[in-house]
Chains A and B, each alone.
Chain A
Amino acid sequence: NAGVTQTPKFRVLKTGQSMTLLCAQDMNHEYMYWYRQDPGMGLRLIHYSVGEGTTAKGEVPDGYNVSRLKKQNFLLGLESAAPSQTSVYFCASSYLGLAPYSYNEQFFGPGTRLTVL
């Protein structure tokens, strides 16, 4: 099994450009997540999905959109990139989600390093 994969690994954008990051998992997980990681700030949840066709906002959703048309894929879109969106983006998946008292070991992808000029 490949686990969680992310495409692309690196990307440089100009301000105002758009792009889509693709996350795929082959573990049949219901839950998928998009995080951004910035120096000194840990991982911050952007959006997440509790199943095919569903999405929800996380801690820092502004400027991003997501879609979960297939259970194994979770797409993160930037409609108009800004320098503040320069970051490393991680996708993760888990069996169970964010409800209280649920177990949800998250499996992370290798990350996408995005630079917005």
Chain B
Amino acid sequence: GQQVMQIPQYQHVQEGEDFTTYCNSSTTLSNIQWYKQRPGGHPVFLIQLVKSGEVKKQKRLTFQFGEAKKNSSLHITATQTTDVGTYFCAAKNNDMRFGAGTRLTV
């Protein structure tokens, strides 16, 4: 079945440093979504990527979808305390599987 690996599991950065989390699938995906969950909160949708090689930006966040549509990344430039939380990818092929998440502390 579809496997979704997300790395790293945890990441601590100093405020102002950059942060990247990676999502890798064992199968080719139709699309991938990213969610953010603040401590004690619920997942909130950030973005969806559909096209091979797609890059989307939201202020300091940059999302990429791999050329082979098997991997994706989320990069945050100059992290702030408001970025704290767990970032999940949700990879969709025939069904949707969430990665285990990367917990970011600042």
- Using a CB–CB cutoff of 8 Å, the interface residues on chain A facing chain B are 35, 40-45, 58-59, 90, 92, 98, 100-101, 103-111
Contact = CB atoms under 8 A, between A and B. Distances in A.
11 contacts: A43-B98, A45-B96, A45-B97, A98-B95, A101-B31, A103-B48, A104-B92, A104-B96, A106-B35, A107-B45, A108-B44
Nearest to B89: A42
Interface size on B, as a range, is 20 to 34
A42 B43 CA distance: 11
B42 A100 contact: no
B33 interface: yes
Interface string B72-83: 000000000000
B94 A98 contact: yes
A40 to B, nearest CB: 6
